[in-house]
Chain A
Amino acid sequence: MSLGRILAVAVLVTSLACSKPTSSPAAVHAPTSKPSRYFPLALGNSWTYDVTIQTRSLPAAIRMNVTDVDNSASAQGGTTYVLSILDTSLAPEDRPDEPVLYQVREGLGLYCVKCEGYILREPLVLSNRWPAGIAEGTDGTYRITDTTRTVRTPISTWNGCLTVEKTETTFDRRILTVYCLDVGPTLVRYFAVAADSPLQREETLVRYTIRDTVPSRGN
């Protein structure tokens, strides 16, 4: 990377970081109760993540796009979005061969149609807990562990973000996802279930495009 590009990135990060005031650290309620603001789903929205895996050094990325709307999957009302996820850290034969379907259920949360459970569930308050979905086993649980998280990524710093921890004992993994307002998931970290287990994998937002809710701020 050239010096000019490094400087340009540094200036961008500094200016974006300064434009966002930090929310109150004592707050237990998220700034808004609408889960769809923390994962803005609209046709054309996209997110790209750099992937860091502790056991290997190969560069990898995840590209997640909202590529269609499938209202035939909306049995209980609400729009169902088709998310195409291409994870280059996985061998082609290990990649899922089907899209993820998320449904916006007003007053309830963001519902994962195939998981049969919510990925974000109202109320968005500290310690709120809900089952991960019938399909994911009865032991899977989501829990809001932070509503005031500040996240720094190579493209920006966001404040007042939600941290949601998902525990999957079946697959021995704990996943921390940080959702930021009008952006979406900005940081995802994978650990083994044991509390003191080391970080296994990290996905960091490096580019995104949001339509409808806010103008695009992606590269």
Chain B
Amino acid sequence: MPLKIKAGKLKKIAAGAAVSKMVKLKEVASAKEAQKKEILVVMLKNVALVGVRYKLTKPDGTVEKGVVDGSCRIQALVEPGGQSKLEFELPLPSTTAPATTAGGPSSTTATENSTQTYQVLYNGKTISDDNIKAVLQKIADTLEGDVNVTSGDRNYVPAGGSQTSLHLQKRAADLSVSGYSLKDAFAKLKEQKATIFDADKKYEVIRHGDHTATGGPHIHIGRFATGTGVSFKVEGLTEVSKGVYTLDN
């Protein structure tokens, strides 16, 4: 039996933290509920943002203020569509960084705003090659996750050890990417290789799996002195492939 409603507006009762509001009857079908978004803020040009006050101006002009919490996250309601503006109140005027955040379709974690910068954590390791360092930063930026370096330049060759390593030539790094499994990070590197790697240089990217014959699972990136292209390889993904390198392009 059809239902008849005689009214111009209806009250939309939102659940949770969303605000209840009146909507026009003809808009009922297209009315979408604002979703709570979580904006991850890590660092801004080497400035830790924990405890920093922020101001979020939403597409409809409303302003929400708060403080970046200890987990570097901001909880905010963002309407689908339109642009939001996120500002931080830093002690130095020159470091105030306005930025916009897109109010896209509903999602529980927003990583699309440009205020987030990602860094390469060298963890005391030295990498001499400027190109490898640039590649690591591009990985952090492209994958939107901090790059954790676990090995860089090496100058020690154990008895019997090979001298063919690109680590010895100071053109290699071992790494993982925060927020990614090694498998997913490796897949992303392949997918984004045109963005991350220089077209006029040659690289080798190796995913060492759980059964690796080396010190532990990691991703290795090395740069050759000559040549072009990126060669992807895997090792130790299974017990059978322990110590066995094969192409995975």
| Interface residue ranges, A against B (CB under 8 Å) | 51, 53, 62-63, 65, 67-68, 70, 72-73, 75, 82, 84-87, 89-90, 92-101, 112-116, 134-136, 168, 171, 173, 190, 200-201, 203
Contacts and interface: CB of A to CB of B under 8 A. Distances in A.
A92 B212 CA distance: 9
Interface in B207-249: 208, 212-216, 218, 220, 222, 224-229, 231, 233, 235, 242-247, 249
A68 B159 contact: no
Given A68-B246, A72-B229, A97-B174, A200 B159 contact: yes
Contacts of A98: 164-167, 172, 204, 206, 220, 222, 245
Given A97-B206, A98-B206, A100-B164, A114 B169 contact: yes
Nearest to B248: A68
Interface residues of B, number: 44
B165 A90 contact: no
A113 B174 CA distance: 20
Contacts of A134: 225
Contacts of B174: 97
Given A98-B222, A114-B164, A114-B224, A190 B159 contact: yes
A87 B216 CA distance: 15
Nearest to A53: B159
Nearest to A75: B227
Contacts of A200: 159
Contacts of B161: 87, 90, 94, 96
A100 B162 contact: yes
Contacts of A67: 244-246
6 contacts: A97-B214, A98-B164, A100-B162, A114-B169, A135-B163, A168-B163
B157 A86 contact: no
B91 interface: no
A86 B220 contact: no
Among B160, B228, B231, B235, the most chain A Cβ lie within 10 Å of the Cβ of B160
A96 B231 contact: no
Nearest to B160: A201
Interface string B145-166: 0000001000001111111111
8 closest A-B pairs by beta carbon, nearest first, are A86-B243, A93-B215, A99-B245, A75-B227, A97-B214, A114-B164, A84-B245, A84-B244
A97 B13 CA distance: 58
B202 interface: yes
A68 B206 CA distance: 14
Contact of A90 (B160, B166, B231): B160
Contacts of A87: 160-161
Nearest to A63: B243
Nearest to A85: B162
A73 B215 contact: no
